[in-house]
Amino acid sequence: MDLGLKDARCVVTGGSRGIGLASAEVLLAEGATVLIAARRRASVDPALASLASGGPVLGEACDLSEEGDVVRLISSARTRMGGIDVLVANAGIVGTPSPLSEMPTADWDELMATNLRGTFIACREASAAMRADGIAGRIVIVGSATAFHAESDSGHYNTAKAGLLGLTRSLAVDLARWGIRVNCVAPGLTETDQTREYIKAGIHPAALGRAGQAREIAAAICFLAGDSCGFVTGSTLVVDGGEIVKGPEAPQ
């Protein structure tokens, strides 16, 4: 299908694996140019190698918790691609799990620095670049179903993801004046390297009775990143196979 992404210049944070990598694949398949970023150069390079056959792809190392790193990433992406049409703000960490009653402040701060603060800085820098270049760009933030229903022992993660919903709505109303659209995709349990063991344990919270595939989340991200949905902004697309609609229910 034509998502209106041909020749779009896209930055995907957390693009070396999982949902970010799948998004990069779909963007390339739609004819876009993609720059992936990941924390470690050592994980960027193999991802670049796997994506190379799909189309023009670049890579950068960037620690989202370092403001200077993020500023450099966006400025470098703008220079190397000649502008930025799309930011997929996907990177995030799971953090160290513990009940909030016992969670060390350092664990909380570490997660917030990457997932919430880092995402804000990336969005700010990317939207400033879009404005400067007169580009009616698109930002897609990757949230989580845990923004709607909390998972135990992940209070920092749940809270940051809920914060991303507020960030999405706020960016949408602030950036609409420049024609920049901002939306969020909230995946449910998705099969990636990090979740495979968990899923094997037989945990299937979704009504569809299975976990999502990274490709299925990427499809929603790329739909919002394209310009075939030109009136959608400030929205959150929940892609969870019917997980949060179930509401509180005893496990079966």
Partner 1 sequence: MRFSGLAGIVTGASTGIGLAIAERLAGEGAALCLIAAPSDAEELDAVTERLGGRAFGIAADIGAERTAQSAISETLERFGRIDLLASNAGIAPFGPALRVPITDFDATYHVNVRGMFLIAQAAAREMSREAGGAIVCTGSSDGLFGHEGQVAYNASKAAVTQMVRSLSLDLAPHGVRINGVAPGWVRTRATAGAIEDPMEWSRHRSRIPMDRPATPAEIAAVVAFLLSADASYMTGAIVPCDGGLTAGFRTSDWDVNLNPTCIPREARPYAPDQ
Q: Does 242 bind partner 1 (CB under 8 A)?
A: yes
Q: Which stretch binds partner 1 (CB under 8 A): 15-23, 62-70, 147-155, 218-226?
A: 218-226
> Rule CB under 8 A: which of 144-163 touch partner 1?
none
Distance CA 233, CA 224 (A): 9
Three-class SS state of 1: coil
Q: Dump the DSSP string for 134-150.
A: T---EEEEE--GGGTSP
User: From the CB of 57, what's the least distance to partner 1, in Å?
Assistant: 22
CA angle 41, 182, 108 (to 5 degrees): 55
Q: Is 157 a catalytic residue?
A: yes
Among the listed residues 31, 56, 83, 179, the single contact to partner 1 using CB under 8 A: 179
Distance CA 36, CA 52 (A): 12
**Dihedral angle, C-alpha 183, 189, 192, 198, nearest 10 °:** 160
- Closest to partner 1 by CB, 15 vs 241, is 241
- Does an H or E element contain 187, and which? strand 181-187
* Token pair belonging to 183: 């939306």
User: From the CB of 18, what's the least distance to partner 1, in Å?
Assistant: 15
> Rule CB under 8 A: which of 127-146 touch partner 1?
131, 134-136
Q: Which stretch binds partner 1 (CB under 8 A): 8-16, 114-122, 197-205, 241-249?
A: 241-249
Q: Does 82 bind partner 1 (CB under 8 A)?
A: no
Structural contact between residues 138 and 225, judged by C-beta atoms closer than 8 angstroms: yes
Interface residue list for partner 1 (CB under 8 A):
1-2, 4, 131, 134-136, 168-170, 172-173, 176-179, 181, 188, 206-209, 212-213, 216-217, 219-220, 223, 227-235, 237-242, 244-246
**Residues belonging to the active site:** 157
